[in-house]
Structure 1
């Protein structure tokens, strides 16, 4: 009997040790096995159920708090990321607009300069064409004028020879009348130059007025020479138009240089072109 009780007591102590070891093992796995911990703890150790349940609730509460904290931080981080992305997008749009607007302004400014240069070139081209047309008209007028003067000279010579041969007063009167008529024709030829001068003045827009404004001492002959110089005619061409010798024209040009107060080495053609290109009011 004693031996039986002793064996029973030994068996109970072994079982108690096993249970204690099992409880310790369960307690160690408590944090990693939350889903089955409550039921298992209730079966093995019913006295610690409420305490373990409270502990588990606190752990779950901490887990929930941690979860929502992480979720809030994630949401806040996402919101900040969206703000940053939106800020970069707005910065990109603003920068693009400013850059495009800047280059557009540069392009328009260059285009405006090109248009201005184009207008200047067209104006110069038009003026050059007018001067070429004027020069051609001048040369045509000169050729016609020169032809008329030659015809008048030939008529005068013919009449002079007629005076030598005439023997009656009536014939002399007739020759005198013809001379008067030739004189009138010569005056008409001189008027052709005046018409041309007016045309020249109209085409070159106040060229003579500009010259007279700067140099009031210039006479009509000086203005004629300046006009021919402006058309870039050489000495021989200008002398033929003025019906004088090239030497006489050179002398007249020398006197003209003094009236224009030109320095030694300064070209008279450059000075006259400069005056022509100035605005005149």
Structure 2
């Protein structure tokens, strides 16, 4: 039950840890802009605004910088940040803030070799001075923008400068410079993959200049090109830009028809232009509202984010408290377990010491047994040697007695004077003394003392073995030679050899001798 509870608590502990870290990781992953990718986002927002006229990406970047009090050391990044701020104020028609940020951006841009941001910032300054009717400062800023922009292989960034110069010189009625800058703008677009929508404006400027210079045919040609480009871009550009394009074209058409004394057509185009102006103002207001709504949405998102952070912090705090409590519980359990383990180890050490002591005693006992075993082996060897000696003595004794018997028998047969009856009696007495059966029984007793399981193992291997064959096996086992066995059994050595061969055949011995086999029993 305790182990199951311990496992459940560990599972809960791990679950809380995972929940806490997942919460933190979700909080971090939900942030699209981070300090790690902020510079990348700044560069992207700068390129979006300059290459594709997109201002939607600059607001989140500036919002993140302002709300996190981010500072930068890289002058190029700083100049781009001030460019984005100036562009934001330009969109909201906040001229003073525009020029303030643009000038700061120019100061930092001087410390880096990024010609693109230098071009963009000077172009914004030129727009500001143009709106303030300060033509000299505007032209000076535009010329600086062109100076830096022309150093780039990609001429995209000078397109807007040529556009701004066309508008400035059109306001100054300097139509020759309008034509010159419009043509340069068209040439720059042809070398770039961006700003294609500016083509229609450059043709509009050309048309306006030719109308004022009295070249109505070129004016109509450029107006036709402007209309053609506008229709081609229909559906690809915003409705606001489409209205702006058509209004500029209708104004030029009104001027052209007025110059040609076609007042009705001029009036119609002017009326259409005024209608489009109202739509343009409406879309501009909507754009500004969207811009402001975006800022409000970002602020609301920040509030929600702060609430989420507070909520997550609370969860983390609660999780941390639980973590500490569970950690304390497991530390306490670990301490208790370590104490139990320590006691158990001490008991095991004591038991181990006891076992070592018992092992030492057993080792001493074993050494004693080995010593006794050696003594027994020595005694067995001595008994076996004694048995062999005794057997040999008996054999010699029997030989002597047999010789006596033979001599007596000879005397009995040769000398009649010896009473045969008495001699036969002596003969019988001697034979009784040296009875082979008595010798065998005595030998068997001594042999069995040394090798108690010999006959049992032999008969187990060969149950039908005769008594005579058992005797032969026993004599072979004590290393008696055939001649000695023949003497004991009163047989010829050849008969002994024959018996040994027969026994070996019965035992089916092929790879070992009879002596080797019997020594194992």
More helix by share: 1
Q: Indicate whether 1:101 and 2:101 are aligned.
A: no
- 1:178 corresponds, among 407, 410, 423, to 423
Which of 124, 129, 133 aligns to 2:383? It is 133
Larger mean Cα displacement after TM superposition, 136-145 or 216-225: 136-145
Q: Give the 5 Å matches for 1:260-275.
A: 260-262=507-509, 264-274=510-520
- Contact 1:217-1:259 within 8 A present in 2 as well: no
Shift of 1:155: 4.2
Aligned residues: 193
- Report the TM-score when normalising by structure 1: 0.52
CA drift of 1:189 comes to 0.9
Residues 150-202 of structure 1 show CA distances to partners (whole Å, capped at 9, x for unaligned) of 23423432442454243xxxx35x22431242133213312431332341354
Residue 124 and residue 196 in structure 1: after superposition, are their counterparts in 2 closer, same or farther (change >3 A)? farther
Verify the 8 A CA contact 1:222 1:256 in the aligned structure 2.
yes
* Distance in structure 2 (CA, Å) of the matches to 1:222 and 1:199: 17
Deviation at 1:241, TM superposition (A): 4.0
After superposition, residues 152-231 of structure 1 pair within 5 angstroms as: 152-161=402-411, 163-166=413-416, 171=417, 174-190=419-435, 191-200=437-446, 202-203=448-449, 204-231=451-478
Q: Aligned with 1:205: secondary structure? A: coil
Out of 146, 151, 161, the residue aligned to residue 401 of structure 2 is 151
Q: 2:506 and 2:360 mapped to 1: Cα distance?
A: 44
CA deviations over 1:128-156 (Å, ceiling 9, x no partner): 52353143134224313422442342343
Asked whether the equivalents of residues 138 and 196 of structure 1 are also in contact (C-alpha less than 8 Å), the reply is no
**TM-aligned CA distance change 1:242 to 1:144, over 3 Å:** same
Task: Show structure 1 runs of 5+ residues with no match.
Answer: 1-80, 277-281
Flag the structure with larger Rg: 2
Contact 2:388-2:478 at 8 Å conserved across structures: no
Matches within 5 A, 1:32-111: 91-102=341-352, 104-105=354-355, 108=358
* 2:501 matched residue in structure 1: 254
Q: Distance in 1 between matches of 2:513 and 2:365?
A: 33
- Residues 46-72 of structure 1: CA distance to partner in whole angstroms, max 9, x if unpaired? xxxxxxxxxxxxxxxxxxxxxxxxxxx
C-alpha deviation, 1:103, in angstroms: 6.0
Gaps of 5+ in 2: 1-330
